[in-house]
């Protein structure tokens, strides 16, 4: 699959937008951030698509931020309708040269959440596809980490 076809397929499934509603403040609620990482090993990471959701009912996804590497610094494409249901699909791609792309473990996005109560939330992240510069799928690992409160 060529890089162009992979990019078109990913973009056709997702639309970039921002959330339209803010959560109602709660005395017990708090904001948090979850960093999402992809480890592409020795391969330059040029594209990815992932699924992220909370498995507990006390979480609202309120924002999406880009990653650490310059190639993924802009927020990824996402489905705002899915995000309203505490679930989000993220996708990003770049046409940068391999020399400018991250290898190994890199933060590709940060997901901002509002936790409605004091219960500990639980999240699942699933990598649907990762690809290198020519659009070839690569074996990669996904992980996420909740940032500790200041």
Question: Which domain CATH number covers 96?
Answer: 2.60.40.680
Structural domain includes residue 93 = yes
**The overall pTM is greater than 0.95:** no
Contacts of 21 (CB under 8 A, 6+ apart): 84
Structural domain includes residue 68 = yes
Nearest by Cα to 66 from 128, 18, 110 = 110
In a structure prediction context, what are the per-residue pLDDT tens digits for the chain, which is 150 residues long? 455 444 444 544 444 443 444 445 556 789 999 999 999 999 999 999 999 999 999 999 999 999 999 999 999 999 888 787 789 999 999 999 999 999 999 999 999 999 999 888 999 999 999 999 999 999 999 999 999 754
Structural domain includes residue 38 = yes
Structural domain includes residue 36 = yes
Question: What's the total number of domains in the chain?
Answer: 1
Structural domain includes residue 100 = yes
Residues 108-141: tens digit of each pLDDT: 999 999 999 988 899 999 999 999 999 999 999 9
Q: How far is CA 64 from CA 61, 78, 127, in A?
A: 8, 8, 17
Please give the residue range of the domain that contains residue 45.
Answer: 3-17+29-146
Contacts of 12 (CB under 8 A, 6+ apart): none
Structural domain includes residue 23 = no
């Amino acid at each position: 699959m060529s890089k162009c076809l992979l990019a078109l397929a990913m973009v056709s499934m997702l639309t970039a937008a921002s959330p339209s509603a803010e959560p109602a403040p709660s005395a017990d609620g708090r904001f948090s951030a979850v960093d999402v990482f992809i480890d592409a090993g020795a391969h330059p990471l040029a594209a990815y698509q992932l699924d992220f959701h909370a498995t507990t009912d006390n979480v609202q996804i309120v924002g999406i931020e880009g990653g650490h590497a310059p190639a993924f610094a802009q927020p990824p494409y996402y489905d705002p309708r899915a995000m309203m249901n505490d679930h989000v699909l993220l996708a990003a791609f770049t046409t940068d040269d391999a020399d400018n792309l991250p290898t190994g473990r890199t933060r590709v996005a940060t997901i901002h959440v509002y936790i409605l109560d004091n219960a500990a939330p639980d999240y699942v992240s699933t990598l649907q596809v990762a690809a290198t510069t020519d659009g070839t799928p690569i074996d990669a690992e996904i992980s996420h980490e909740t940032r500790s409160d200041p």
